[in-house]
Structure 1
Amino acid sequence: MSKKKSSGKKKKSKTSDSDLLKGRLDITRSGMGFVIIENQEQDILIRPNDFNTAMHGDTVRVKITRMAGRTGRMQGIVTEVVDRKQNVFMGKVEISKTFAFFVADSDKPMPDIYIPLNSLHGAENGARVIVRVVEWAPGKKPVGEVVEVLEAQAENDLAMKEIIMENGFPMTFPEDVIEETARIPEQLAGVEVKKRRDFRDVLTFTIDPVDAKDFDDALSIRKVKTGYEIGVHIADVSYYVEPDTELDKEAYLRATSVYLPDRVNPMLPERISNELCSLRPHEDKFTFSAVFNISATGSVKDYWLGRTVIHSDHRFTYEEVQEVIENGDGLYKEELLLLNKFAQKYRKQRFKKGAINFSSQEVRFKLDEHRKPIGIIVKESKEAHQLIEEFMLLANRTVAEHVGKFEQDNKQLPFPYRVHDQPDAEKLVPFAAFARKFGHGFDTKSPERIAASFNQLLEEVKGMPQQHVLEQLGIRTMAKAVYTTKNIGHYGLGFENYCHFTSPIRRYPDVLVHRVLQEVLDGRFAPDKKMEEKCKHSSERERAAMDAERAGNKYKQVEYLQNFLGDEFDGVISGVSSFGFWVETVEHKCEGLVSIASLSDYDDFRHVESEYMLAGRRSGRTFRMGDKIKIRVVAANLEKRQLDYEWVITAALKEDTGSGERLKRVAKKSRKKK
């Protein structure tokens, strides 16, 4: 297989960058393009002949050529592809005697890709393959190579691969990355061991999900004169992944692992993530650690940061630790109960200081041997999860505070902080009004009062059917957390200083944090002038990973509810628009659309945006976000990842409305349509 990789970029035109605008190209099904510019209301029209090799989702620079039409819309041409969203595609290959070409499975217009015969790598005519674009000169067809021939695989497997690719993540690691990784010695170098603080004789364990393989954090604990010494030990990925190596470049390109319901698309090759760096039990491992001197009452008296070597004594699952916490008995019970006591104390302190208590409700799929969902489990965050969370937060905050104290030339060192801006009070007004409909007061006079109001609301709706919907709506009204060198603090956590230090196996910013921290500890600073650019790239890749994870979850929801067509479920209205409303089932958290067309026989509904509801013009019937409702599953479209529901008119509703006969006719018509 060829090692050649495409940068996805073309040479800049002679036009000055100051004359150009940078944005994301969105290509419609009709083939017309629009470049969306950040913080600019109007997008820029791009005709197909002016794409200049750009494809849907690419970040591009455009030159405005004229104001098009009576609307005054700007029209332009693409002058440069800054960043490719995707250069790997799934589709079919057609082969002739002298050449081959590839046709992608895509609802977006894109050119066929020319495949040299020596780049087919065993693919036969008509085969379904994955192809990578390796070259694309302006005015010519893109050139590609086959990276995988897809055998007769299950559709759900192909769908997951397509989700990964369409969000711009590579499916495989280049050969030079694999070769470089294979050369890393498995044995810990004795010279390096001597440089590190040795924790191998201290009780250490990991706590992770039952199916985890990349254990990137461990806790150690021992009694000391002043109380307890508790270590947060993180896999020392930066020791193995050195700057500017092929391995480092690939990790940066991906910037994050992607977690789908049935697989992980890792940031680092498995030899790194699951073997060399994974803190597996009964193995010596290199780590980067935050070690805390904590009093008997849980107060942090002092800390130490540095490189270490550890030996994990045991691998716990969250369920095993939760059992020890609930029953007060089990392996290392004294240590676990003490750690949990401290963690709960830190948790209460955080919320008292203004952190927002959004619960982390997790939906997980039970899969059969063919990766098809046979059940859905809704998991709540329990004390075992909170134990790990609080100590990871403590380590992340401490590292950010420590690095933030250092300056060079009267400037803070470029460092990838994890920040979360304060909410925009104006954007919260509709949410506050909505919360009042449910009897929840909401004070938007200051950031502190907003946080207190959120916590009060979340406490009041705990355990109610509306809990998940209200939480999600509340989160959507907040700013998004991002990576940046500009430290504005983390509003949601209530921290003035915060970074990501604890997951370098799956997040590239954590690797950057480790590198800068080591420079600080060594007293030698080499500020990275491209740190803000790296932060922006990492934030963008994080958003793409979240999009992929949402798409993967949606696919599995549809795949699961295919087995329940015609069945009825209790639900909660989770969103409202002019064309209908979405309902999330209480039992499985599966969201589907009730189309406004399916309600037309009952009444003429209008969308009241400020109230998050549809209102009937004649009946006065309303469908408001957060309302409990019964639905029937009427369609499950895997290709579109879409569920369609219809409203079930219950006996109680017939009696309440006094329109029993009319509702019977509506129900009868609905059944006929079905």
Structure 2
Amino acid sequence: MDYKQAITETLKTTKKGLDRTTLQSRLRIEDQTAFTAFMKDLNALEAAWIIYHEPSDRYILAEYAGLIKGVLKLNAKGFGFVENETQSIYVNQNHIHDALQDDTVMARMWQNFDESQECEIIHVLEHAVTTIVGTVKMNERGTYFLPDVYMHDRKIKITNYEDFKLVNDSKVLVHIDSYSNVLKASILKVLGHKYDPGIDILSVLLAHNIEPEFPKAVMDEVQKIPDRVMEADFKGRRDLRDQIIITIDGADSRDLDDAVSVEKIKDGYRLGVHIADVSYYVCEGSAVNAEAFERATSVYVVDRVVPMLPHSLSNGICSLNPKVDRLTISCIMDINKSGEVFNYEIFPSVIRTTERMTYRDVNGILAGDEKLVKKYSHILPLCMNMEILSKGIRKRRHQLGAIDFDTREAKILVNEKGKPTDVVVMERGEAERIIEDFMIAANECVARHVKWLDTPSIYRVHEEPDAKKIRDFAQIAAVMGHPFKGKAQSVYPKQIQEFLEEAKDSEDYPVLSTYMLRSMQKARYDASCLGHFGLGLQEYTHFTSPIRRYPDLIVHRMLRKYCFDHESDAVRMRRDEEWIIDAAIHCSKQERVAIETERDVDDMKKAEYMEQFIGKCYDGVISSVMRFGMFVELDNTVEGLIHISNMTDDYYEYDEVGRALIARRSKKRYVMGQKVRVKVLDASRFKKQVDFILMERGKSHEKNGKTVSGTASGRNAGRMSKQGKGYREKGSDTKNGRKKTGQRRKR
């Protein structure tokens, strides 16, 4: 008999807990067999920290004992927070003990006299950091290891230096073997020399546990997958090879996972969104599938991609390459002039794309470029129909309250050695918007389809923003002269949309848009259809990129099982539903890891780019104000810190209400959105940071030539500046959340 539920239900009846004898008596456990099963389940619940065995020998539910489970987030100053879905509890550095950043921990919580809450970590359930990337340093005093990330003063002892041929500044990957007060670790492999081309990005990838290479078992399995479509593969598929279907991507894209077709019909237009049928090749139970699940997403960093699937799949048989047969899942939608879908079909298909188009060329066709119009005359009607249809779809979404934050995205250009040569801003042209409109329409249609069929699936959800964050934003906006009219407790997408549109022509718009975006919840995956606040949609999923996102592959697989093959096994369906709950959590987590990795690489490369401009002066905009100083964003999206210790013309105090730094004597104010002139004081690719000082009336606010470092986050968009002069590059490689190079848009 399973006593776990009975034990927990009994312990729910008392917040003081019960000793083992009393608990045994209440459950009426009398014979030896029942006692053995009871003790096994009691110990299992204790091991899982669902119940807590107090020193007084009483068992109590963990929550009644003041215990919380969460993830440890550490601050550079030493303290941290234990965070879970419902709370974030402060933990003093003396109460962190042996836990590390992002560890899953159990902590004991208490309330202070001022009603604030604190906790102490009592057990590490799971260590997040198992490997560390760092540099081996050698000098007359010996050999030591410097980790790339700050380890909060934890000492690291390497136990196997002698097993490798090392030189000073060798970059290595080490594995943590023991998590005692002094971390004991062993070198797994030597990555190269600190200054070798590409080692910097490889180090960041491995620091986030992103492995560029695939296991041998995966590569062996991939070799058995055909590199071309066979006629036997057409069974059960609708043949669309005679239709005009095109792909539209960035010029350097290789994983082409979506294609589109549009034709005029009586009541509007027929839109076809044809997505690579990755689920046909990546099957449950295979090594390829297991590895794809673990990765969950492709990672795009400046000059390379770490794919979710091996290149022979992502760039080969799964990619919708031009003028060859490819297996797809098609979503065909009949859409009226108001942008509403009034009829649709979703089915397996086979296509042969007519052309492999780029955003640049389609934008040129739509702009009337004579050479391009002549070259692509055979798809000109398709392009014209696409433009008309997308405007109707966009208008409908606008009426529903879809929010367009219009954040500009940077692209870092590098040479063959990986050295950054420029930072440019990518613009979204009409072609980019068209594809985004079509992909969102397909994602909504598929989500609605599986929701109303009530089949297992995964959804892309974006919940309502937290009321406190909206209140904070409203306060910031009011200080900047842009009052927000919505109510924090019940804000609607339409209110945010209208606010941003009113501020569109203001110089403050980039800052307002960025801060509003930061006030939103993070989009994530879920087994339930909870809607997408930012898009103003009740149903939404990710269906359109199965080559680079595992959730899309899940959607395809569930469509195949329950819609195409019409499986009706209740046990299997329930098993899939339970598995998807865990898969959604895993995929959301891996997505966040990918985003953090991409940002770290961008920060590093932007800082490296700015190293050549130390001493140069630029115009920038204050993007945020903190107690310790303010961040200034240049036109090239690089962000650097002006530390308050370097603002020496006066004594500055932080005004929390106004989010401003105010000079005590002169009353000079520095607020978000304000234009300032700065000089690049320092930049370091290794620290991933850029530091500025203010320039005013020919003088700099610098103190003894010293600086306190800040992060070159580059996470807010702007226009490119080359030594103070505006420079813009046309064209964009973003596509419905796809990032080919540079940043990637998240829906």
Give the aligned residue type for 1:626: G
Aligned to 1:387: 434
Aligned to 2:558: 516
Aligned to 1:646: 693
Deviation at 1:563, TM superposition (A): 1.4
Q: Which runs of 5+ in 1 are unaligned?
A: 1-10, 95-99, 408-412, 651-663
- Measure, in 2, the Cα distance between the counterparts of 1:45 and 1:474: 31
Structure 1 SS opposite 2:696:
coil
Deviation at 1:543, TM superposition (A): 1.3
Give the aligned residue type for 1:80: L
Between 187-196 and 108-117, the greater mean CA deviation after superposition: 108-117
1:521-532 paired onto structure 2 within 5 Å: 521=563, 522-525=565-568, 526-527=573-574, 528=576, 529-532=578-581
Closer, same or farther: CA 488–635 of 1 in aligned 2, 3 Å: same
- Measure, in 1, the Cα distance between the counterparts of 2:530 and 2:489: 14
**1:442/1:450 contact within 8 Å kept:** no
Deviation at 1:598, TM superposition (A): 1.3
**1:633/1:645 contact within 8 Å kept:** yes
Give the aligned residue type for 1:62: M
**2:275/2:545 contact within 8 Å kept:** yes
- Measure, in 2, the Cα distance between the counterparts of 1:144 and 1:286: 46
- Measure, in 1, the Cα distance between the counterparts of 2:101 and 2:469: 30
Larger RCO, structures 1/2 (Cα 8 Å, 6+ apart): 2
Deviation at 1:297, TM superposition (A): 7.7
Counterpart among 331, 337, 347 of residue 394 in structure 2: 347
- Measure, in 1, the Cα distance between the counterparts of 2:487 and 2:97: 49
Closer, same or farther: CA 295–42 of 1 in aligned 2, 3 Å: closer
Closer, same or farther: CA 341–89 of 1 in aligned 2, 3 Å: same
Say yes or no: does 1:567 pair with 2:612: no
Say yes or no: does 1:179 pair with 2:220: yes
- Measure, in 1, the Cα distance between the counterparts of 2:179 and 2:703: 55
TM-score (norm 1): 0.84
Say yes or no: does 1:491 pair with 2:533: yes
Aligned to 2:405: 358
Counterpart among 56, 66, 90 of residue 101 in structure 2: 56
1:288-437 paired onto structure 2 within 5 Å: 288-294=329-335, 300-327=341-368, 330=373, 331=376, 332-407=379-454, 413-437=455-479
Aligned-residue CA RMSD (Å):
3.6
- Measure, in 2, the Cα distance between the counterparts of 1:446 and 1:671: 45
Structure 1 SS opposite 2:51:
helix
- Measure, in 2, the Cα distance between the counterparts of 1:307 and 1:540: 30
**1:13/1:79 contact within 8 Å kept:** no
Closer, same or farther: CA 249–222 of 1 in aligned 2, 3 Å: same
User: What are the superposed Cα offsets for residues 43-95 of structure 1, whole Å, 9 maximum, x if unpaired?
Assistant: 456879964xx65333x3436499999999543433532x635546455599x
Closer, same or farther: CA 107–425 of 1 in aligned 2, 3 Å: closer
Give the aligned residue type for 2:444: R
Say yes or no: does 1:39 pair with 2:86: yes
Counterpart among 221, 229, 242 of residue 188 in structure 1: 229
**1:233/1:290 contact within 8 Å kept:** yes
Give the aligned residue type for 1:406: L
Deviation at 1:373, TM superposition (A): 1.7
Structure 2 SS opposite 1:234:
strand
Closer, same or farther: CA 669–236 of 1 in aligned 2, 3 Å: closer
- Measure, in 2, the Cα distance between the counterparts of 1:603 and 1:46: 34
Deviation at 1:476, TM superposition (A): 0.7
Counterpart among 530, 534, 558 of residue 607 in structure 2: 558
Structure 2 SS opposite 1:346:
helix
Structure 2 SS opposite 1:62:
strand
Aligned to 1:17: 50
Counterpart among 565, 585, 590 of residue 536 in structure 1: 585
Closer, same or farther: CA 72–518 of 1 in aligned 2, 3 Å: closer
Give the aligned residue type for 2:102: G
Closer, same or farther: CA 251–457 of 1 in aligned 2, 3 Å: same
Aligned to 1:545: 594
**2:608/2:683 contact within 8 Å kept:** yes
Deviation at 1:221, TM superposition (A): 3.4
Aligned to 1:479: 521
Counterpart among 291, 296, 318 of residue 250 in structure 1: 291
Give the aligned residue type for 2:607: V
- Measure, in 2, the Cα distance between the counterparts of 1:459 and 1:249: 45
Structure 1 SS opposite 2:198:
helix
Closer, same or farther: CA 303–92 of 1 in aligned 2, 3 Å: same
- Measure, in 2, the Cα distance between the counterparts of 1:668 and 1:502: 51
User: What are the superposed Cα offsets for residues 123-177 of structure 1, whole Å, 9 maximum, x if unpaired?
Assistant: 524483654749779999878674x543446456222122222223223211111
Aligned to 2:714: none
Give the aligned residue type for 1:427: K
User: What are the superposed Cα offsets for residues 550-601 of structure 1, whole Å, 9 maximum, x if unpaired?
Assistant: 1111112111111111111111100110010000012x0110111111113x
**2:135/2:172 contact within 8 Å kept:** yes
Counterpart among 201, 204, 207 of residue 248 in structure 2: 207
Q: How many residue pairs are counted as aligned between the two chains?
A: 629
- Measure, in 1, the Cα distance between the counterparts of 2:190 and 2:45: 35
Deviation at 1:394, TM superposition (A): 0.6
**Identity of matched residues, %:** 32
Counterpart among 564, 583, 589 of residue 637 in structure 2: 589
Aligned to 2:511: 469
Deviation at 1:291, TM superposition (A): 1.2
- Measure, in 2, the Cα distance between the counterparts of 1:48 and 1:441: 42
TM-score (norm 2): 0.76
**1:31/1:48 contact within 8 Å kept:** no
Counterpart among 313, 318, 322 of residue 272 in structure 1: 313
